[in-house]
A and B are shown apart, each in its own frame.
Chain A
Amino acid sequence: MPQYTLNIAHLYGDLMNTYGDYGNIIALRYYAEQIDVTVKTTVISLDNTFKSADFDFVLFGGGQDYEQTIVAKDLKSKAAELQHYIENDGTLLAICGGFQLLGSHMIMADGQRVDGIGALDLYTINMHDSQVKVAKDARLTGNIVIKNNQTGEVYHGFENHQGRTFIGDQELALGTVISGNGNNGMDNHEGIIHRNVFGSYFHGPILTRNGNLAKRILATSLSQKYPDINWEDNLKQLPTESF
């Protein structure tokens, strides 16, 4: 009888859902159910209130440019609470557009500037920018492999983005690019890890193809809520999907 619950907020799950990112929730549920944890998902969209205390994990996926600009406007009303969630070590996975919107700002493909919430030290320019020295004017599309420098784990995924993201010197990348492009195709960084926030351009989706990371994120989320249980050990016993 499951007595533990993981409450997931799928931020703008109806608008920022373009690249199969929902699969990350399917993967978390898959591992959670095997250790008797029930997963409950709530979509928090335009005009809904995000209450950080209600959630143990937040997924913020990628969307189309048009939807992303609409989301960026609405996100202002949720920015303070989201910031509060992040600074209190809440666990969050942000993919592609969601990753970009956690930074200070981004320049869309058409040159339009969109403000992010500035929770992380990162910003995004577009593929036409003169700073772009690799694949200028082209999307970065293809398979990607990175290595996480904390754990040595290797992650596989698919990237498809026009924006080029740069993380601050004090920020840690999710991994170093082994093959593919990563954040901008130039500095070998892919994604970000900031407290318990994981940002990335990885589709695939990232947690379905990289079971180690799924388990890490699940353990982190559950440990915040149920600190007396050794979730890492519980999860270690499960087979890990990695491909």
Chain B
Amino acid sequence: MGFKTTVAKLTAKSSYWLLHDILKRGGTSLPGKLAVKIDPTILKHIQQDFDLIVVTGTNGKTLTTALITRVLRAGDYDVITNPSGSNMIQGITGTLVTSKFKKNNGKRPIAVLEVDEANVALVASAIQPKMFVLTNIFRDQLDRYGEIYTTYDKIVSGIKYAPDAKVLANGDSPIFTRGDFKNPRIYFGFDHIQPQDYQSLTAPNNTDGILSPTDNSVLNYDFITYANLGKYRSHTDHFARPKLQYAVTSVDKLTPKYSEFTIDDTSLRIEIGGLYNIYNALSAFAVGREFNIAPEQIKSAFESNAQIFGRQEAINVDGKDVTIVLIKNPVGTNTVIDMMLTEPEPFSLMTLLNANYADGIDTSWIWDAEFEKLHTTKITAVATGGERYKDIQVRLKMAGFKDQAVYQDLNQIVTAIQKMPTKKVYIAATYTAMLQLRQQLSAAGYIKGGF
């Protein structure tokens, strides 16, 4: 280790200590940024006395990473991981430089890192991953990420740095059959529909990635779970979904608050709604099994602590049961809408739209989210707001929700929640709108610990 690296590490550690222990802030980006500034090659000099698992893809990275971490810890592995949002090179460097492995039980420790799609190659070129977990690739903030094949190419360029790493990928997503790398591929997916119930479907029109890589024909599906995910096949040749190593064999109950399902004979329950979250659990299950953790241990890892499902947050505002969900792209929003379709009670929906850099500066995507579907629920009231309140207001108006409370200023948001006519309130917000919302709720004392 050179002098520069030593200084870089020390700087990162001391700035982390200052932020974390003295200022009580949770950042890893600043220490990482400082370290990278002093020694741009610092990641290459980190002692590789651990196995690295890279979790990447458009949606579900955070929960998948958290679940894998839990599962591996249940298997008595010493695991470090990065906090949500610290998934770029600076945050990752910060995490690796400032974290310590504690156990010494003979098992090689593991770093489970959520990595932004465009940062996979940067990480993998410095530290050889043992495994890549690919959740899905959907159209996401085109002004930042570009098209889905570009995103996938970036991930593939990272995989190529680690030719021996296992690639654990969502087999229901056709794009993951592409890519000219020779790594062993292990697929997980859904097999909850019996062959006699197969249909001949095509993906909904507002999804991407529906062409067969063999002859560019539009793929057919025996069943679709959501968007372009499902059991696909070409109607012109032999191209079809690859064999699944790990599969959801039945979906037993879907509610907005929890889901029950079975993976390869193990019945499981997760304390979060939405079919899409079952995919996250499935990938964590698959990783656990690959590390020889028993299904029963994985089950208890999922079920022993509900706190882990933090992204879809439930809070109480003066007796109102408020669920906050992040929305950032059409597929993600549609999965949130699907989750609301499982809500049996009357509810109100507040949708907050910002268009800052972190939200994506183009708001066009809201037109590919199918808010029209909500007419089949007991939705009672609709409110819209945020910096681009006009866009979301017109979107919902054109979806047939003519009466809306409109909040241009999120300063009134607590009052807005109190004014909703139902006990159940869903708030769907883009990233920076969610930060503003949390700030308001925190200032009013409804959530603890800042935002």
**Interface residues, chain A, CB within 8 Å of chain B?**
10, 13-15, 17-23, 26-27, 29-30, 43, 45-46, 64-67, 70, 141-143, 158, 160, 203-205, 208-209, 241, 243
Contact = CB atoms under 8 A, between A and B. Distances in A.
B442 interface: no
Contacts of A65: 147, 149
A204 B364 contact: yes
Contact of A160 (B142, B148, B216, B391): B142
Interface in B151-209: 202-203, 205-206, 208
- The SS class assigned to the A binding surface is mixed
A46 B210 CA distance: 12
A22 B371 CA distance: 13
A99 B59 CA distance: 31
A14 B217 contact: no
29 contacts: A13-B205, A14-B218, A17-B205, A18-B208, A19-B365, A20-B365, A20-B366, A21-B364, A21-B367, A22-B205, A22-B206, A23-B364, A23-B368, A26-B367, A27-B398, A46-B218, A64-B148, A64-B149, A70-B211, A141-B143, A141-B361, A143-B361, A158-B362, A158-B364, A160-B362, A203-B362, A209-B391, A241-B397, A243-B390
Contacts of B143: 141, 160
Contacts of A19: 142, 362, 364-365
Interface string B344-385: 000000000000000001111111100000000000000000
Contacts of B142: 18-19, 160
Which 3 interchain pairs have the tightest Cβ spacing? Answer: A23-B367, A20-B364, A20-B367
Interface of B: 139, 142-143, 147-149, 202-203, 205-206, 208, 210-211, 216-218, 330, 361-368, 390-391, 394-395, 397-399
B147 A18 contact: yes
A20 B205 contact: no
A27 B395 CA distance: 9
Nearest to A65: B147
A18 B395 CA distance: 17
B210 to A, nearest CB: 6
A46 B216 CA distance: 10
Contact of B205 (A23, A43, A46, A67): A43
B228 to A, nearest CB: 10
Contacts of B218: 14-15, 45-46
Given A19-B364, A64-B147, 8 more contacts: A19-B362, A23-B395, A67-B208, A141-B143, A158-B361, A203-B362, A204-B363, A208-B398
B362 A17 contact: no
Nearest to A30: B398
Contacts of B394: 208-209, 241, 243
Contact of A15 (B210, B364, B390, B399): B210
A174 to B, nearest CB: 17
A205 B398 contact: no
A88 to B, nearest CB: 27
Contacts of B139: 18
B367 A66 contact: no
B368 A20 contact: yes
Contacts of B330: 20
